[in-house]
Amino acid sequence: MLPRNPNPFTFLNPAPTAQANTTQQPVPAVLGGGTGPIEGRPPGPIWAHQGFTAFPPIIAIDVTQEGAKANTVYNPGVPSSLNSGIDPTASFHPRFHPNLPDQGPLALWTFNGTLPPKLMIGRYAEPILFREHNKLPADRTQNGGFGIHTITTHEHNGHHGAENDGFTGAFFFPGQFYDYHYPIVLAGRNSINTAATDPRAGSPNGSGGIIKVPGDWHETMSTHWFHDHMFSFTSQNVYKGMAGMFNIYSALDRGNEAINDGVNLRLPSGTANDFGNLDYDVNLMLADKAWDSNGQLVFDIFQTDGFLGDVMTVNLAYRPFFEVERRKYRFRILNGAVARFFKIALSDGSPMIFIANDGNLMPSPVVLTELDEQGIAERYDIVIDFSRYSIGQKVWMVNLAEHEDGKLPSKDLSLSEALSGSSSDPCVGKFLEFRIVRDPAKPDVSQVPAVMIPNPDLSTIAVTRQRTFIFGDGAKQTTNDPVTSFRGPWGIGTDGGDQLDADFGRVSAAPGFGTREIWTLRNDGGGWDHPIHIHFEEGQILARNGSASNVPAWEKGRKDVYRLRPDGSVTITMQFRDFGGMFMEHCHNTTHEDNAMLLRWEIDNGGSPFLRPLPTPIPTPQGVTFRNPDDILPTAF
């Protein structure tokens, strides 16, 4: 877990500032020499933290991005008995398995340079200042063959100002830091429940009660993750280990199963702390990896369909087991792969209760014996009741989705096919062993209520615009900027225009602040699937392939990643409110994203200091300059 340090203004040195800190420091010769700012955030008012005065940071999280090293401060947040007996005082090696070698500092780059991957804990009404130091090698050839030392961290799907969104072009250099300010507010705070009278719009107060906050309680979010978003290098950097998870606690989703106040949903978690108990609430980050004959992580940078690994990892552990008690557990499952889809079942075919999609609790739970395919970056929260098993029994999580290449799953196998070992895909089959070891010391008082979080009602909000985005290959590039423009087979066509390669200097859409729009995302072909991520606001799926009846029960909540399916389309609605700036829409098959299926959209008329359009940041080690957009699509505004 990442340490939560109260009061960033005394804990962090220098103290965080609303605008980027441009104090100068020497720049290494390999990065061009001279001097540059200590903070890599673009300078000036446009990239100042929005709401820095209204939401002053209360918690400081101070992290590095660096090469692999032993973890001497491992804190799982639970007793060793609930963590499969791991001794947290023993040094935790940067390795995928006890019988595999340590990863070298050029192969594995992670938050704080250590394993396991980090979990950030937050709650509404407690703004976080996340200071990230870039301690990667200044020489960009020192990367173990893949990855780049310039980084930008996206808090997926944070409802924050764009300066804190990890914009792909707002990257920073070795020797610099970047302050991300996460206000952690409910969407709609400026228009809904503005007097903060509804206890369902709230946060745990630390002593069993609720701090009421403005905003729409239907927009409460739970399971996020954070990861690198470097332009055209996201796949390599995330694969190297630049990813963690982020649990957000609220009045509804307290992380305490015992508090019975009529608001708390009492989902499986634990009771020791007021909020954020992890005893029975477990994050699982799935990712396929590959290593060389020396056991070091490897990646194929020339594979543009989508890189696939041949070994499954969970929280970067290979062949893991997890000891569980005979009771209910919540699992927050993240697909943290580059290009692989998963489809999860239990080895005995028994049911799982699907409670959250992309970090948003469902209107109602859905009982499933096989989850839907899970695209890259999607989060599925499920509850498994282990009380049906006997002590000494084992059950496994099984992957049913078989890949032949990185374009899409080639086949979803039946459970018996997946367990038979006949698949040519080594990532099919059992990948996580649960060992049922004992009865719980205290009775399981957790619940899965029949009603959780109904969708926000948008019916009275006029639809200002409809836009269409087509995702395909054979795209073209109309710009040639050495920093912002990239060429690749993949691209996005906007509102009937040509399919274009990514240029973070191009404005493809610019919804008006405070409006609602309907966007249709269309797959240009049947030979691939694309999990499309739209930053900043949660969407509701109105239709698949043009019909509301095609939307499955588990997609009837809010989402931030939309799998298009072969030849498919998804129609969604979303609002644009609370904060402004430049955001992104892209395929989260990160190989596709990097090659170059990504576009920039912006909310830029929310008031001073926003310009129409926003200037593009151009980072250098000596400082960030700004340039007018390379291109503005005719339908953007």
Find the shortest distance in angstroms from Cβ 50 to Cu ion: 31
For residue 237, give Cα distances in angstroms to 66, 111, 582: 11, 11, 22
Q: Are 380 and 374 in contact (CB under 8 A)?
A: yes
Q: Answer for the pair 345, 370: CB distance below 8 angstroms, yes or no.
A: yes
- In the complex with Cu ion, which residue's Cβ is closer, 530 or 544? 530
Cβ 372 to Cu ion shortest distance, Å: 17
Whichever of 477 and 590 has its CB closer to Cu ion, that residue is 590
Contacts of residue 328, Cβ cutoff 8 Å, sequence gap at least 6: 268, 280, 383, 384, 385, 386, 387, 444, 446, 448
CB 523 → Cu ion: shortest distance, Å? Answer: 9
Q: Which of 227, 228, 277 is nearest to 253 (CA)?
A: 277
Nearer to Cu ion, 453 or 564 (CB): 564
Sheet holding 281-289, edge to edge: 317-318, 311-314, 281-289, 328-335, 379-385, 352-357, 360-368
Q: Which of 358, 115, 88 shows the shortest CA–CA distance to 244?
A: 115
Nearer to Cu ion, 2 or 598 (CB): 598
Name the minimum Å distance from CB 449 to Cu ion: 36
Nearer of residues 332 and 592 to Cu ion, judged by Cβ: 592
Q: What are the backbone angles phi and psi of residue 214, rounded to the nearest 5°?
A: -70, 160
Least distance CB 489 / Cu ion (angstroms): 11
Structure tokens at 578: 């609370």
Smallest separation (angstroms) from Cu ion to the CB of 593? 7
* Closer residue to Cu ion (CB): 246 or 471: 471
Task: Tell the smallest beta-carbon distance from residue 408 to Cu ion (Å).
Answer: 9
Give the shortest CB-596-to-Cu ion separation in angstroms. 11
Q: Would you say 325 and 438 are in contact if contact means Cβ atoms under 8 Å apart?
A: yes
**Given the rule CB under 5 A, which residues bind Cu ion?**
530, 587, 589, 592
Task: Output b/e per residue, 395-423; b: 16+ Cβ within 10 A.
Answer: bbbbbbbbbeebbbbeeebebebbbeeeb
> Which C-beta is closer to Cu ion: that of 41 or that of 592?
592
Closest CA to 262 of 449, 456, 454: 449
Query: In the bound complex, what is the minimum distance in angstroms from residue 564's beta carbon to Cu ion?
Result: 8
- What lies within 8 Å, CB to CB, of 235 at 6+ separation is 307, 338, 339, 590, 591, 593, 594
Q: How many CB atoms lie within 10 A of CB 463?
A: 11
Are β-strands 598-603 and 506-509 bridged in parallel, bridged antiparallel, or unpaired? Answer: parallel
**In terms of CB distance, is 561 or 614 closer to Cu ion?**
561
Contact 453, 557 (CB under 8 A): yes
Nearer to Cu ion, 287 or 345 (CB): 287
CB 39 within 8 A of CB 20: yes
Nearer to Cu ion, 540 or 589 (CB): 589
Report the residue number, 212 or 563, with the smaller CB distance to Cu ion.
563
Tokens of 34: 């001279």
Identify the burial level of 459 via C-beta atoms within 10 angstroms of its C-beta, where 0-12 means exposed, 13-18 middle and 19 or more buried: exposed
Give the C-alpha distances (Å, rounded to integers) separating 492 from 114, 274, 375, 518, 587. 37, 46, 19, 17, 9
Least distance between Cu ion and beta carbon 223 (Å): 22
Taking the complex as a whole, how short is the minimal distance between the CB of residue 597 and Cu ion, in angstroms?
Answer: 5
Shortest Cβ 492–Cu ion spacing (Å): 10
Q: Which two tokens stand for residue 451?
A: 């009603």
How far is residue 100's CA from residue 55's CA, in Å, rounded to a whole number? 45
H or E stretch including 234? Answer: helix 234-239
Nearer to Cu ion, 220 or 589 (CB): 589
Task: Return d(Cα 560, Cα 525) in angstroms, integer.
Answer: 22
Report CA Rg, the chain: 23
> Residue 381 Cβ, how far from Cu ion at the closest point, in Å?
24
d(CA 45, CA 583): 17
Instruction: Report yes or no: 547 and 143 within 8 Å, Cβ to Cβ.
Output: no
Q: In angstroms, give the least distance from the CB of 361 to Cu ion.
A: 27
Name the residue nearer to Cu ion (CB basis): 304 or 573.
304
Q: Which of 522, 524, 519, 550 is nearest to 536 (CA)?
A: 519
Closer by beta carbon to Cu ion, 137 or else 406: 406
